[in-house]
A and B are shown apart, each in its own frame.
Chain A
């Protein structure tokens, strides 16, 4: 098999032998693929400055199976020059794709979403809304899309002013009496947050917090016990920065 001029982003790379790289690339038509870039680490290799994460590429490869051979790569416009907070978010999205996508499953819509998410990331923000929307699309693409528009108990439309328990793998059930201990095992959140996630309009802090809580619980079920390492970058972001961002949002 020979593929040429396929759009791609590098998700991850590691050294292979003396002068080569092993790449995981994300493409629209072939999904996540493994590639070997021969000679990419030679001092004068043209590929060295090109094969980097967050750089839109056009690549070609030949061969099938787990490892194909990269036959060409060129930039498709400038890189997204993502920096600081945006860089952490970029690594986070890459880690999710590495962990949750099987190789060779095409994901055209997700590729588009990944690309537009990257271009929307900002260096001086926590970018939470962008990450939640990306996670939503990712879950749908791998066959675990969330139910965000109706109560799975009685099929009624989600009401912004009601409270729900989101039952993983099933969906939201309205909480009849919030004071009573719930009989469902679920993630509690407001209807407004479900609707905001559905409409991709996550803008206030409560909505963002509830959406994060929901996504984190659902993703953990699919990720298993191994932690997401890129999250450690956010955690250690020192308190003054987080406070600084919240101040900016509030004013």
Chain B
């Protein structure tokens, strides 16, 4: 009976992954054990290494293998620009856009008072220390355009302006390649109010 316990434990473990229900967990288990034991070892080893080695960059708070992540350590990035994002995934999206050349700060969340998430929980004291170093000339607020994301952007913009640093907010608008007819009305309203010289 011991066998089944090990199998069940593996299924349970896999179900912790996002998007994995009991059915797909079972498929993964049988796939790995029947067809790809080498792959299974690889996954296990990669997970252990990652969990042991990856921490948070001491400067930008992003996930990093080193004390200072590759972006913070790069001499090619503009150290006067700081972009604030909610999550590592948001940072990756911005990096893929290829137009931003400054540094980042990752909040690992957003202000969400009704969930008890306040300034301390999203690393605001660390951000303030970074601003106090004096190198940053502009802070780009790239939190999500949700109510919580907006509150977070406003909160940080006050800290930034209080130190006489420029605070900017990413623009909202119609998706490139999209059509006005299918754009929701709040997005359109913001696209109109945020219009610029053509």
Chain A residues with CB under 8 Å of B118's CB are: 229, 232-233
Please, how many angstroms separate the alpha-carbon atoms of A75 and B150 in the complex? 20
Give the number of residues in A that approach B within 8 Å (Cβ atoms).
34
Let me know if B184 and A232 touch, CB within 8 A: no
Write the nearest CB–CB distance from A56 to chain B, whole angstroms: 12
A67-101 to B contact mask, C-beta < 8 Å, 1/0? 00000000100110101100110111011001000
Chain A residue nearest to B159 in the complex (CB): A238
Please, how many angstroms separate the alpha-carbon atoms of A88 and B113 in the complex? 9
Chain B residue nearest to A231 in the complex (CB): B113
With contacts A49-B186, A83-B154 known, is A233 near B114, CB below 8 A? no
Please, how many angstroms separate the alpha-carbon atoms of A230 and B155 in the complex? 12
Range, interface on chain B? 20 to 34
Determine which residue in A78, A79, A236 has the highest number of CB atoms from chain B within 10 A of its CB, and name it.
A236
Let me know if B189 and A95 touch, CB within 8 A: no
Chain B residue nearest to A241 in the complex (CB): B158
Residue A50 lies at the interface, judged by CB distance under 8 Å to chain B: yes
Let me know if B151 and A49 touch, CB within 8 A: no
22 contacts between A and B (CB under 8 A): A12-B114, A12-B115, A52-B146, A52-B147, A78-B186, A81-B186, A84-B154, A87-B150, A87-B154, A90-B147, A91-B113, A91-B114, A92-B113, A228-B113, A229-B113, A230-B113, A233-B111, A233-B118, A233-B151, A236-B119, A237-B158, A238-B162
Question: Interface residues, chain B, CB within 8 Å of chain A?
Answer: 18-19, 111, 113-119, 146-147, 150-151, 154-155, 158-159, 162, 184-187, 189
